[in-house]
Structure 1
Amino acid sequence: MDKITEAVIEADPRLPIIRLTRDFAAAPDRLLRAHTDPALFTRWVGPDAMTTRIEHWDARTGGSWRYASVHDDAEYWFHGCFHEIRPDRIVQTFTYEGDADGVALETMWFDDLGGGRTRLRTQSLVDSFEGRDAWLRSGMETGVNEGYAKLERMLIDGTA
């Protein structure tokens, strides 16, 4: 099985879905923790030029979250609900508050590849093909790849 070291981002041709796949050098439980522990999450999420400030974080089935990505004096707010957290997946909503009508339903699967490796698969169902294509044009791949590179380093050096 080939290792996927940079996120593969794909648009579904039939549905307004974005799929993302990336491998990590860590067991699924460590990757899950990095996505649910707010102290870890703020250290890796998003582009290198931004920092993350959490306003609210309740990582449990039925919980919710809200955070800001900050660059210079600009703040970009996001919020959502954790619909389900299990050892092998997270189901949540995701809303960029600059487009409050654009709610995505996201599912993240943590696939154990053995040998201390995990394949993260994410599916984001958005409200329309136009919304999906706007996400893809937004430069999201920079934030995804820079954020996941930070997470990979944290997993390798044992800080996550």
Structure 2
Amino acid sequence: MAEKGTVKSKQEGSQTLEFTLTLIPFFILLLLVVELCRFMLTANLLDAALSTAARQVVRLNDKQDVLQLLRQEIDAQDWPLFDNGRMKLEGRYYEDLEALVLDQYDSDYKDQMYGEYRLTYTYQMLFIEGMGDGSAINKFERTVLVAHERR
């Protein structure tokens, strides 16, 4: 009879071990799926934020600070999981289509016809601190080309 009790306790220990060995990879996989969903959501939010803001600032008065207006429009959107402090916004302005093709741009808006706006966002992984630092996975870049409409 003593031997049967010993066999039963060994089986209970192996079930606990099997459960633990199965649970850990499952939990890690679950965290990776959540991180991937967050990554894709951030990419889509950046696209939406930049395109929505660009639509709002297409019509300009002369000598307005376009980057400031664009930044205000993006800040006003208040997207979830989106830290505006990690965002960098740059603008290039082209006089005409030929200057755009030849990449002859000006950094200041002076009533140019075309504007190219680049939004760069540093992505921070949620569950794995420091993972992806220094790689292409931690930086999103979105660019939009706008033909400025004059009032």
Please identify which structure carries the higher helix content. Answer: 2
TM range (shorter): under 0.3
Q: TM-score, normalised by structure 2?
A: 0.27
Q: TM-score, normalised by structure 1?
A: 0.26
- Report which of the two structures shows the higher radius of gyration computed on alpha carbons: 2
Q: Using CA pairs below 8 Å that are at least 6 residues apart, which structure has the higher relative contact order?
A: 1
